[in-house]
Amino acid sequence: MPRAKSKHTDTIWVRIDSVIGLILENDRYLNSKRVKELCSIISEKFDVSKRTAERYIVEAKREISKLGKKDTKKAFKKAIHDREFLLQKAKGVKDDKGYYQIKPDFKLALEIVKDRDKLNGLYFDEIKQTGEITIRNVDLSKFTEFGLERLKRGDKIEEVLMDPKSVKQE
């Protein structure tokens, strides 16, 4: 019996490509909660078992993840190559006698090096911390009429909570 080079035949790849199309058309199918729904759609469409449909989904998600990785690696390599080219030009161009044909621009060279190193992940973006606290699931039954009016006007909830007239005393 002849051996196949790939574990999937052309027919299976066509089906997997169609599953990829379904997933990319509707982002919610990427959720793990929607796998059963997608599985039933695929099993009806191709008249296959649920287990086979699940295999198609796994393979489709694997292919989708490969798509993003290939493009980012290629873009990263191109960006680094461009930075290196610009850095060489910013350092200046000497002729065969050792004189500069193009004067070096050290400030530009420094900016290019910083940008290249940032692409390589050597710099971290500064995280700005604000003193804000978000309050969710606030029980509005604990507010007085005055407090509800203040919230309706658009006052900050922290200020309303701190006002003794706005909150019911228990």
Query: Checking phi first, is residue 47 left (phi over 0); if not, alpha (psi -120 to 50) or beta?
Result: left
Q: Rounded to an integer, what is the distance from CA 89 to the centroid of its chain?
A: 34
Q: Residue 144 to residues 138, 150, 158, 159: CA-CA distances in angstroms? A: 14, 10, 15, 14
Each residue's pLDDT tens digit, 73-118: 888 888 888 888 888 888 887 777 877 777 888 888 889 888 888 8
Long-range Cβ contact pairs of 159-166 (< 8 A, separation 24 or more)? 161/135
Q: Read off the tokens for 52.
A: 């086979």
* pLDDT, mean of residues 127-150: 74
Write out the two tokens for 97. Answer: 């006698």
Res 119: pLDDT: 82
Give CA–CA dist 117/126, Å, rounded.
Answer: 15
DSSP 8-state assignment for residue 94:
E
Q: Read off the pLDDT of residues 43-53 as tens digits, 9 standing for 90 and up.
A: 999 999 999 99
Residue 23 CB partners (closer than 8 Å, separation 6+):
29, 30, 38, 57, 60, 61, 64
